[in-house]
Structure 1
Amino acid sequence: MDDPVILTCAVSGALASRDQCPAIPYTPLEYAAEARRIADEGGVMIHIHARRPDGTPSHAVEDFAAITDAIRAEVGRGLIINYSTGALGVPLETKQAYLRELRPEVGALNMGSMNYAKYSARRKDFVFKAVFENSFDDITALLATMVETGIRPEHECFDSGHVASLDPLLDMGVLTPPLQVSFVMGVTGGIRPTARNVAHMAEQVPDVPHQWGVIGISRAQWGLLAAALSLGGNIRVGLEDNFYLPEGEMARSNGDLVARGARMAIDAGRKLATVDEARALLGLS
């Protein structure tokens, strides 16, 4: 576990609203304020789903640009910019457009199709359910866009088969290590959020230079992050994934969640990566 911990924050997601959590940022200036809190508390990467100023999810170039410009004005190169490409019903060409135009340092790349749902045991019913389609055709097209624009992919894997989907891309030579592989755990339809499954997923990553980390969804997050830290992985926190601190109190900002993740890393005997160290580990220029 010689590598320091790359601490990422996913600031808003596309689904949550202020009715659920008042700290969700909507406007570019609110994203910038959250970016400052993230950087100040030890985070080095910010994962962005764009919104319009009224909070409506957006995949428009101008909204990603306004948010990114505001973040850069606030923290400069103090955070690695990471754009989401995960969305239901959004055309491939739309995602390619904002990647090509704005060229973030990192772009999330979902590695397989799946049932994607949230289930309520209290209601005995699904809160929502959908098919999250990520065909190999779409994966390779998005990857080609990232390669041609110098964006490093972050491979988001919701199950162990998604990790195995890296194999053909490596064999074709369209992926260049070091890889960044993230295990998304806790989504109904994906792998169960257990410490044993963190270890299982980590063992599936191809034997090439890589960084791996855990994205824990909902309140199972903190145990998953503890498992990742003990096994040498990186961690992601943020209001996209979970609103609550381990004690059950709702976070007042993304900074609260980053601060707790940073403390967990240090308590586990790990060092936090600086932003320059993180760029070097991920193969960013």
Structure 2
Amino acid sequence: MSLDHPAILTCSISGSIANRAQCPAIPYTPAEYAAEARRIVDEGGVHIHIHARSPDGRPSYEIEDFAAISQAIRDEVGDAAIINFSTGTIGVSVEKRIAYLEACRPEVAALNMGSMNYAKYSSRRKAFVFSTIFPNPFDEIVALLEAMRRLGIKPEHECFDIGHIGSLAPLIDMGLLEGPLHADFVMGVTGGIPPTARNLAAMADNLAEVGAVLGSGGGGHHWGVIGISRVQWPMLAAALSLGGSVRVGLEDNFYLPDGTMARSNGELIAKGRQMIEDAGRRPATVEEARAALGVPQRSAA
């Protein structure tokens, strides 16, 4: 990837943890997801990452909720966005996660690449706001990858540290992965890699080295950044200067750079698009995004 490549603008539309008491714009119902998808696409977003919720806002891993949300989005924006399902969770069986992939067949599914401490720390309180273990053992990763290969779903490798990128190597050797690789580097989580431009560059370099096994020297692989909370905007700027793509959205961050709470995902996407253009690059079209990620064009699927 280089500065000549268009940047894929992704939106994580809701997440599964935050609620409307924290941010009124978070969608709950399929119709609200669809309305947010329209705002995302109208502002230049081409890749939508979905955590399902039941209509009352509770996190859901049920087939019917994923199906209703994804169908509502498709009915609203057609093929103008790539649909991506999360498989990341705590305490939900691999079988249940595979079931909603199998029933709904999203184009892309996110796959967390390693276990870790996962926390949020408050320097004001001198204490952790929350702290847990996020388990993603290799047996679960392999089972999810095998299902994705069988179903024709492209994995998005969410890497919270450099070691998570290294975890791709044995999976490539096992024949579970094909190029182009599609990785997103998650920065800003306590327990993961510290969110600096140097660390982001190191993540990109490591992906190129691991991906060279697939014969492209890393040049054909795609990466983006996921900046969590207040570090989102500096990490977007760093990624754009390094040739990467970017993700915004209400799962990751509620606030625009000036500190104003976003009134929709569309406002976050609009700012992301502006940053892409200000960096001298351009947002990818959905057709370009599918080609870069190795996802078949919908018309040819």
TM-score (norm. length: structure 2): 0.94
The 5-angstrom pairing of residues 173-184 of structure 1 reads: 173-184=175-186
Which deviates the most, 230-239 or 112-121? 112-121
CA distance in 2 between partners of 1:210 and 1:2 (Å): 14
Query: In the alignment, does 2:280 pair up with 1:269?
Result: yes
Aligned residue in 2 for 1:119? 121
Unaligned runs of 5+ in 2: 297-301
Which deviates the most, 168-177 or 120-129? 120-129
Aligned residue in 2 for 1:197? 199
The 5-angstrom pairing of residues 61-80 of structure 1 reads: 61-80=63-82
Which deviates the most, 116-125 or 212-221? 116-125
Number of positions where the alignment pairs a residue of Structure 1 with one of Structure 2: 285
Q: CA deviation at 1:215?
A: 0.2
Identity %, equivalent residues: 68
Aligned residue in 2 for 1:227? 238
Aligned residue in 1 for 2:260? 249
> What SS does the aligned partner of 1:245 have?
coil
Letter of the 1:263 counterpart: Q
Aligned residue in 2 for 1:56? 58
The 5-angstrom pairing of residues 79-94 of structure 1 reads: 79-94=81-96
Aligned residue in 2 for 1:31? 33
Q: CA deviation at 1:195?
A: 1.0
Alpha-carbon displacement from aligned partner over 1:92-138 (angstroms, at most 9, x marks no partner): 11101001111100000100000001111222221111110001110
Aligned residue in 1 for 2:166? 164
Query: In the alignment, does 2:225 pair up with 1:214?
Result: yes
Query: In the alignment, does 2:251 pair up with 1:240?
Result: yes
Aligned residue in 1 for 2:299? none
CA distance in 2 between partners of 1:63 and 1:261 (Å): 28
Which deviates the most, 253-262 or 126-135? 126-135
> What SS does the aligned partner of 2:23 have?
coil
Q: CA deviation at 1:2?
A: 2.1
Alpha-carbon displacement from aligned partner over 1:198-247 (angstroms, at most 9, x marks no partner): 11111110224310000000011100000000000000000000000011
Q: CA deviation at 1:283?
A: 1.1
Which deviates the most, 113-122 or 142-151? 113-122
Q: CA deviation at 1:44?
A: 0.3
> What SS does the aligned partner of 2:182 have?
strand
> What SS does the aligned partner of 2:156 have?
strand
Aligned residue in 2 for 1:280? 291
CA distance in 1 between partners of 2:135 and 2:246 (Å): 25
Query: In the alignment, does 2:21 pair up with 1:19?
Result: yes
Letter of the 2:225 counterpart: V
Letter of the 2:141 counterpart: I
Aligned residue in 2 for 1:4? 6
Letter of the 1:75 counterpart: V
Q: CA deviation at 1:172?
A: 1.6
Q: CA RMSD, aligned part only?
A: 0.7
Which deviates the most, 152-161 or 198-207? 198-207
